[in-house]
Each structure stands twice: as structure tokens, then as C-alpha cells.
Amino acid sequence: MVPADLRFTKDHEWVRVAGDEATIGITDYAAAQLGDIVFVELPPAGRSIDQFATFGVVESVKAVSDLFAPLSGEVLEANAALTAEPELVNAEPYAAGWMLRIRIGDRGQLDDLLDADAYTKLTAEG
Amino acid sequence: MPYGPHTEADRAKMLAALGIDAVDELFSDIPAALRATGLRLPAPEPELELSARLAALAGRNRTDLAAFLGAGVYRHWTPAAVDQILLRGEWYTAYTPYQPEVSQGTLQSIYEYESLIAELTGLDVVSASHYDGAAATAEAALMACRQTRRKRVLVSHAVHPHYRQTLATYFEAGLEFDEVPVVPDGDAAGTVDLAALERLLADPERPVAGVLAAQPNFYGLLEPMAQIGELAHAAGALFVAVVEPVSLAVLAPPGAYGADIAAGEGQPLGIAPQYGGPYLGLLACTEALVRQIPGRLVGMTTDLDGKRAYVMTLRAREQDIRRDRAASNICTNQALLALAASVYLATIGPHGLRDVAALGAVRAAELEAALAAVGAPRLHPGPYLNEFAVRVPDARAVHRRLLGLGVLGGLVLADIEPDDPALADALLVCATEVTTAEEISRFAAALEDAIGRSPVGADARSGSDGRGAGLRTTPAGVGRR
């Protein structure tokens, strides 16, 4: 269920690394907990984000939650499709529902993240 | 739920459940110095005596005066339907309901309020209302700071002084504002100094989030709003128009001259002048700012059967959800007063509102001519709608003498701005559609009399009266006509 090639934060963000770049989103578990997502506020390209600091806000019909960065880096692109279709986060959290593409600032920070097994265990504990 | 005070046994049971010994322990987070201790209230009185005492106090209100006081609060004719509809108990809530299945009536009334104010301001989005015009203006300034991620706003000196004071309070925690002076003399005297505005906007170290200007301004004058907006936008700042809603029936609406946000006092829309409120804060913005507007937004949709329905559409940035990251401390609205505004606007209609604004302007022109004829010419040369300042020698003493003659002669401007020599001998006066020709004659005759008995510098009483005029900006003694 949880893609094996991703790393995770305890706050339910995922990151997929490809070379110097990484893609960030929230997990299927997080999207399900939030319910229907109606708005995602993301930083513009060029802004720096810091590991474990907030980089945006996600609003669902039930709650408003901060988004926490799994890695530090510079924003290359925010997913513009989410402006018109925030529900993509619910439908395809690991694919079309991605949120940010960043240039990785410090690869060493990957060691501070959970792997798929550890994250699955975390969500199973509830 | 029936009303009944808790018994000692109730209290003991609750304290035991909480595991504490005294109610005071619940307030231990509040520093002792800030806690209320022992209210000193007078002894209880029998209802008969109390009502007689309150009637005597109410009797001290001067409802006999011909009143020319505006300065942010305006007398208008309110159709009887407005107060009659407000008497219905179904409306008595300050909550913006989030259970559409049980609250269609209240939600529809808020939706209609938002729609009417959107039409009046020419803007896309209207909040479900705020405490008063000052609070709405301060919220507009905060919106500009959040949207631009800048920390400084510029506010025209001709925005209502009370609004500027409220803004200063809101901005105490880490934000800053500068005042834009008004032109001291010449044709544009009393309106925003555009050259000064341009200089203030040009500081590269302190970028500006928003520029606030009032239309009409505090002196009743019309501002070059489009030009102010252009200067603001050229510097990357938002433009906030502080407006008086009745005037929007005849003046260009904020949406037409490029304002990003409009804020204002809704009292002129069917709400009686009253000491200290409650009043109604209007706040509207463009769709681009919808995520920044504080308070609640009600929208229209369809239910599962395809029928029209109203829902709370947006309140995502409120305190109950966002805690310290909330956009504002407001979590509700002025529902009853917003309803009054809606009923007022719906009752008199767009043509009626235009008549109200136009007739006020006509009466004000008559007032200007009558006052000029007895030696009180206008202070500023520029155009106005229904309020203007006049030069009156020894204004404070004259104002007091007018009260003795049955006239509330507007506002002594020096009471509000004692340090401005240009306003030392001036009264701010207004007329609306309820002002009569007879009242204008009474004012002019009384003023002639009062000035005649007040040779400049020869009136011994004027210098010794440190208390100022008997009435200040809030029309405590003015009943609705």
C-alpha cells in the first residue's frame, strides 16, 4: 500500500528522490484522515524550505493542517494542477496529487526520515 | 435549557470531578494582577425605583436638537419594516451557523447581506461582517500585510481618527504604519498629499503592504481614489478604500477604481446612531484575496435533490481551527446588524438609496449656502458629498452656545485634532435626507447669534473652559428622527 521507494516524515509527508531533485506530497493515510481536500497553499518557485518546518497549508472540509518539509531545499515547482483540482491529493496522493518539486539542499537529511516499513508501522499504531 | 444557578452541591460535584478544591484554580493561568476582584456595585433596587431612575437618565438625552453631527455616524430615515423584522426571535444569534440542515434562514440572510454589499462595493467577496468600521479597516490592513508578506502600511491622515487609533492597536505587535499627510492649502486642501504618498512608497528599506484612504474622507471631501490606487499598485502595495456605504449609491464603487479591499461602517444602513455601538463592520475584497479575508463566508449551492441551499463556504483560517495561526480573532459576525442593513437595502432599493444619497447632498449644499451667509464659510475648497468643515471663530464656545439654542452644530474639529492649527476654529457639519429646511434655518440663525456674541479674542469664557464642548464625536444625545 505504501510505495517502497519513498521516505516519510512522522507528520505524513512523503518524498521521492531523483538525482538532485525531490518530489514532496502527503500520504494516502493523511489524505484519508483529512477527508475531502478543498485547498492547498504552496510556496512559489525560488523559495527555500527547511526540513521539518512548515512549507504550506492543506485545507479539507474537516480541518486545516500545516505541511512539514521532509527535506531542506529550494522550491523548483509547485503543482499548479492542485489549484483547480485539490481533490487530486485524495485520488492520487503519490502521483498526480504531488505538491512540490525541490532541489535537495542536504542529502544527509534523508537519514532522518522513515522508510516504508517504519511508516507503515507508525500508521498501524494510529 | 432552563435558567437556574448552580447549587453548592452542584459546584462541589463538579470540583470533585475536576480534582480541584476551588473555582479560582481554573483561572490560575491568568496573572493575579489581571483578574477581577470584587466588583463594587450599588445595592439592588426595587424595579419601580430602578425604572424611574433609568427613565430620568434617559430624559437627559437631548432629543430636541436640530442635529448636524456626522463624523462617521449618520442619521437616516429607517423604514419601520427594518426594526419590526429585527424583533423576530429567530434572528437572535451572533453565530454564523455551520449546520445548514437547521439554519437555512440565518444562512440565507447572511448570503443576501454579502450579495448586497458586493453589489454596493463592486467587489467579489464580502465577509459575514465585523464589529464596526474601525475593526474592519484594521482587518483590511492586516490582510494587505499577509498577502504581500510586508509589514508596513500607509494610512491617510484623513481616515477617521478612531479608525487610525484602532489600526495602531492592531499593529502594536510587530507591524508598522505611517500616516500620509493631507495637502495643507490650495484646491486640494484636506485631501491625500499625492507627492508625499509617492515619497513614502519609495522607501526601498521599508516596502509597503497597503495604502488606506477614505472616500469621502473624515473632512467630508472626495479623494482622488483612482490616482491613490495607481500609486499604491505601482509600488506593489494593495489599495484599501475606507467607504461610507450610502455614498456608494452615487459615487464610484471601490471595485471601479481599482481598490483591492473595501472597509467601512455599516451604521448608515438602517442602524440607529447609538452611544458606543453596536455597529457593523463592512469588509469586501477581490477574489484574489479570498484566502486572506477574515471571518466567515456564506455561499449558495444546491442540495442532493438539486434544490437551492445555503452553506458556510469558508471559515478555514479562524481561531477555532488555526489557533495562533488564525487570520484574525473574529470567529463570528454582527448577524443582527447585518440583517438590519440587508432589510434596509432591500426595502428602499437601489433607486431609494440613490435618492437618500442625492437628497443628502442637496441638503448639504443648502446648509453650506446658509452657513456661509452668516459668516461661516467652508474650510476646504474641494468637492464634498454631504459633510464639510466650516470656519467659525471661537468654534468651541460657539458650539456650546449653539447647544443652548437647540442646535447640535456638528463636531468641534479641535477636540479631535488639537494639534492641527489648520483645524483650530472649525466645525465639521453634515446633512442627510432627514435634515429639513427649517432645521437649516434654525442652525444659520443660531450661528449668526452665537458668532455675533463672540468677538474673536474678547470672549472671556472661551479661554477658561478646559472641559471642551459638551458633546463629542459619539452622538450620545441624539435620538433617531
| Per-residue model confidence (pLDDT) at position B455 | 54
Query: In chain B, whose CA is at the least distance from the CA of A54?
Result: B325
pLDDT value at B480 more than 70: no
| Per-residue model confidence (pLDDT) at position B2 | 61
Residues B228/B200, Cβ–Cβ less than 8 Å? no
Q: Read off the amino acid at residue A89.
A: V
Q: B288-326: b or e for each residue (b if 16 or more CB lie within 10 Å)?
A: ebebbbbbbbbeeeeeeeeeebbbbbbbbbbeebbeeeb
What percent of chain B is predicted at pLDDT more than 90?
Answer: 72
Task: Give how far A8 is from chain B: nearest CA, Å.
Answer: 24
CA B294 to chain centre: 17
What percent of chain A is predicted at pLDDT more than 90?
Answer: 85
C-alpha closest to that of B133 among B480, B479, B473: B473
Q: What is the CA radius of gyration of chain B?
A: 25
Task: Give how far B298 is from chain A: nearest CA, Å.
Answer: 14
Tens-digit pLDDT profile for residues B14-27: 999 999 999 889 98
Chain A CB contacts of B291 below 8 Å: 39, 41
Of A40, A41, A48, A59, which to mutate for an interface test with B (greatest number of B Cβ within 10 Å)? A59
Predicted confidence band of residue B404 (pLDDT cuts 50, 70, 90): very high
pTM: 0.84
pLDDT value at B38 more than 90: no
| Per-residue model confidence (pLDDT) at position B72 | 96
Instruction: Write the ipTM.
Output: 0.71
Q: What is the mean pLDDT of chain B?
A: 90
DSSP, res B29: T
pLDDT value at A120 more than 50: yes
| Per-residue model confidence (pLDDT) at position B478 | 39
Predicted confidence band of residue B94 (pLDDT cuts 50, 70, 90): low
Inter-chain Cβ pairs, chain A and chain B, closer than 8 A: 10
Q: B179-210: b or e for each residue (b if 16 or more CB lie within 10 Å)?
A: ebebbeeeebbbbbbbebbeebbeeeeeebbb
| Per-residue model confidence (pLDDT) at position B454 | 59
Q: Do A64 and B291 touch (CB under 8 A)?
A: no
Q: Which residue among A41, A63, A66 sits closest to B291, beta carbon to beta carbon?
A: A41
Task: Give how far B131 is from chain A: nearest CA, Å.
Answer: 25
Chain B CB contacts of A53 below 8 Å: none
Predicted confidence band of residue B316 (pLDDT cuts 50, 70, 90): low
pLDDT value at A91 more than 70: yes
3-state class (DSSP) for residue A41: strand
Chain A CB contacts of B317 below 8 Å: 64
**Element housing B348 (H / E):** helix B335-373
What is d(CA A94, CA A10) in angstroms, rounded to the nearest whole number? 17
Higher pLDDT, B286 or B97: B286
Average pLDDT on A105-113 reads 94
What is d(CA B423, CA A38) in angstroms, rounded to the nearest whole number? 53
Task: Give how far B321 is from chain A: nearest CA, Å.
Answer: 7
Residues B110/B298, Cβ–Cβ less than 8 Å? yes
CA B448 to chain centre: 32
CA B171 to chain centre: 18
Average pLDDT on B267-282 reads 92
Interface of B with A in 260-299 (CB under 8 A): 291
Residues B197/B208, Cβ–Cβ less than 8 Å? no
pLDDT value at A6 more than 90: yes
Average pLDDT on B95-100 reads 75
pLDDT value at B181 more than 80: yes
Task: Give how far B20 is from chain A: nearest CA, Å.
Answer: 32
Q: Please report the beta strands in A3-95, taking only residues with DSSP state E, as ranges in sequence order.
A: 7-8, 13-18, 21-26, 37-41, 48-49, 54-60, 64-68, 73-78
| Per-residue model confidence (pLDDT) at position B314 | 80
What is d(CA B402, CA B413) in angstroms, rounded to the nearest whole number? 16
Chain A residues with CB within 8 Å of chain B CB = 39, 41, 59, 63-64, 66
| Per-residue model confidence (pLDDT) at position B473 | 38
| Per-residue model confidence (pLDDT) at position B274 | 87
Chain B CB contacts of A59 below 8 Å: 316
Q: Do B316 and A39 touch (CB under 8 A)?
A: yes
Chain B CB contacts of A41 below 8 Å: 291
Q: Read off the amino acid at residue B317.
A: R
| Per-residue model confidence (pLDDT) at position B470 | 37
Q: Please report the beta strands in B164-272, taking only residues with DSSP state E, as ranges in sequence order.
A: 176-180, 208-215, 238-243, 261-265
A88-97, B142-151, B237-246, B454-463: least confident range:
B454-463
The answer to whether B480 contacts chain A (CB < 8 Å) is: no
Predicted confidence band of residue A126 (pLDDT cuts 50, 70, 90): low
pLDDT value at B273 more than 70: yes
Task: Give how far A66 is from chain B: nearest CA, Å.
Answer: 9
A96-110, B185-199, B274-288, B306-320: least confident range:
B306-320
Higher pLDDT, A64 or A18: A18
3-state class (DSSP) for residue A111: helix
The answer to whether B62 contacts chain A (CB < 8 Å) is: no
Phi, psi of B87 (to 5 degrees): -70, -15
Distances B206 to B149, B213, B301 between C-alpha atoms, Å: 12, 19, 44
What is d(CA A18, CA A38) in angstroms, rounded to the nearest whole number? 29
Query: In chain B, whose CA is at the least distance from the CA of A40?
Result: B291
**Element housing B285 (H / E):** strand B281-285
What is d(CA B120, CA B282) in angstroms, rounded to the nearest whole number? 11
The number of C-alpha atoms within 13 Å of B110 and in the hemisphere containing its C-beta is: 35
> Where on the phi/psi map is residue B291: left (φ > 0), alpha (ψ -120 to 50), or beta?
alpha
Tens-digit pLDDT profile for residues B103-134: 898 899 999 999 999 999 999 999 989 999 99
Task: Give how far B296 is from chain A: nearest CA, Å.
Answer: 14
Taking the alpha carbons of B337, B341, B342, B346 in that order, is the dihedral positive or negative? Answer: positive
Residues B247/B95, Cβ–Cβ less than 8 Å? no
B228-237, B364-373, B461-470: least confident range:
B461-470
Chain A CB contacts of B322 below 8 Å: 64
Distances A79 to A20, A97, B111, B169, B187 between C-alpha atoms, Å: 18, 8, 33, 39, 53
Q: Do A66 and B325 touch (CB under 8 A)?
A: yes
Query: In chain A, whose CA is at the least distance from the CA of B323?
Result: A64
pLDDT value at B467 more than 60: no
Q: Do B322 and A39 touch (CB under 8 A)?
A: no
pLDDT value at B472 more than 60: no
Tens-digit pLDDT profile for residues A36-57: 998 999 999 999 999 999 999 9
Q: Do A64 and B321 touch (CB under 8 A)?
A: yes
Q: Which residue among B291, B321, B325 sits closest to A63, beta carbon to beta carbon?
A: B321
Predicted confidence band of residue B475 (pLDDT cuts 50, 70, 90): very low
Average pLDDT on B3-10 reads 85
pLDDT value at B477 more than 50: no
Task: Give how far B325 is from chain A: nearest CA, Å.
Answer: 10
Q: What is the mean pLDDT of chain A?
A: 93
